[in-house]
C-alpha cells in the first residue's frame, strides 16, 4: 500500500484543504497561488500513474484512490469557480461535469460488479475531457486578465475550455452508457 505512487496520490488529497485555504487568502495573488496548487496536483496525477507503471507499483488501493483523488480536487475546483464567478454560465457546466463524474463512477461500479469493467474503461474522449477540464480550471481559478501589464485571455480561454470539457463529458458519458446498454441487451 505505501508505494511511491500511492504516497503521491495521498499528497494530492491532502493538498485539497491547502488549495482551498490559499484560494481564499486575503491577498492579491491568492487565486493565482490556488491555481498553481491545482496545477501541481494535476501534474502529480500524471506523475503517480507514470511511476506506478514504470516502477511496477500498481496496487488495488492505488487503482481505487487515484480516481477518487481526481474527483475530489476537480469537484472542489468546480465549486470554487462557481462561487467566484457567480454566473449561470459557469455553474451549469460545473454541475454537468460533477454530475457526470457521479454517474460514470456508479456505472463503472455496476459494470465492475458484473465483471465487465473493460466496457467502461477510460477512453480517448474521456482523456480529452479531462485535459480540457484541467486547463479550463487552471485558467478560471487564476482569474488573470493581465500578466506583467500584458492583457492575456486565460479567463476567456477557461470559459471556452469549460464548455469543451462539458461537451466532451456528455459525449464520453453517451459512449460509456451505450457500451453498458448494448451489453445488457445481449444478456
31 pLDDT above the threshold of 90: yes
Mean pLDDT of 33-37: 96
Torsions phi, psi for 150 (to 5 deg) = -105, 130
**So what's the pLDDT on residue 10?**
94
Architecture of the structural domain at 4-182 = Up-down Bundle (1.20)
Q: Is the pLDDT reported for residue 149 higher than 60? A: no
Q: Give the model's confidence band at 131: pLDDT under 50 very low, under 70 low, under 90 confident, else very high.
A: very high
- Residues 41-97 have pLDDT tens digits of 999 988 888 888 888 888 889 888 998 999 999 999 999 999 999 999 999 999 999
* The dihedral sign for the CA sequence 15, 17, 23, 26: negative
Task: Tell me what the pLDDT averaged over the chain comes to.
Answer: 89
On the question of pLDDT at 160 being above 60, the answer is yes
146: confidence class by pLDDT, cuts 50, 70, 90: low
Domain ranges of the chain: 4-182
Predicted TM-score (pTM) of this structure: 0.90
How confident is the model at residue 187, as a pLDDT?
63
Of the candidates 46, 43, 42, 25, the residue with the CA atom closest to the CA atom of residue 34: 25
In 3D, which of 34, 37, 46, 38 has the Cα closest to residue 8? 46
Amino acid at each position: 500500500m505505501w508505494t511511491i505512487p500511492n504516497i503521491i496520490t495521498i499528497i494530492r488529497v491532502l493538498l485539497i484543504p491547502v488549495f482551498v485555504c490559499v484560494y481564499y487568502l486575503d491577498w492579491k495573488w491568492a487565486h493565482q497561488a490556488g491555481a498553481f496548487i491545482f496545477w501541481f496536483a494535476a501534474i502529480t496525477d500524471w506523475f503517480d500513474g507514470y511511476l506506478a507503471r514504470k516502477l511496477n507499483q500498481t496496487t488495488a488501493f492505488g487503482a481505487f484512490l487515484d480516481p477518487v483523488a481526481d474527483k475530489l480536487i476537480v469537484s472542489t475546483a468546480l465549486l470554487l469557480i462557481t462561487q467566484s464567478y457567480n454566473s449561470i454560465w459557469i455553474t451549469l457546466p460545473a454541475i454537468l461535469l460533477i454530475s457526470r463524474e457521479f454517474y460514470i463512477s456508479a456505472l463503472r461500479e455496476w459494470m465492475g460488479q458484473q465483471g465487465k469493467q473493460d466496457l467502461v474503461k477510460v477512453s480517448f474522449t474521456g482523456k480529452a475531457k479531462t485535459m480540457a477540464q484541467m486547463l479550463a480550471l487552471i485558467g478560471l481559478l487564476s482569474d488573470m486578465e493581465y500578466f506583467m501589464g500584458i492583457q492575456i485571455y486565460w479567463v476567456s480561454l477557461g470559459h471556452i475550455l469549460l464548455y469543451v470539457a462539458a461537451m466532451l463529458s456528455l459525449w464520453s458519458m453517451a459512449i460509456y452508457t451505450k457500451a453498458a446498454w448494448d451489453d445488457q441487451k445481449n444478456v
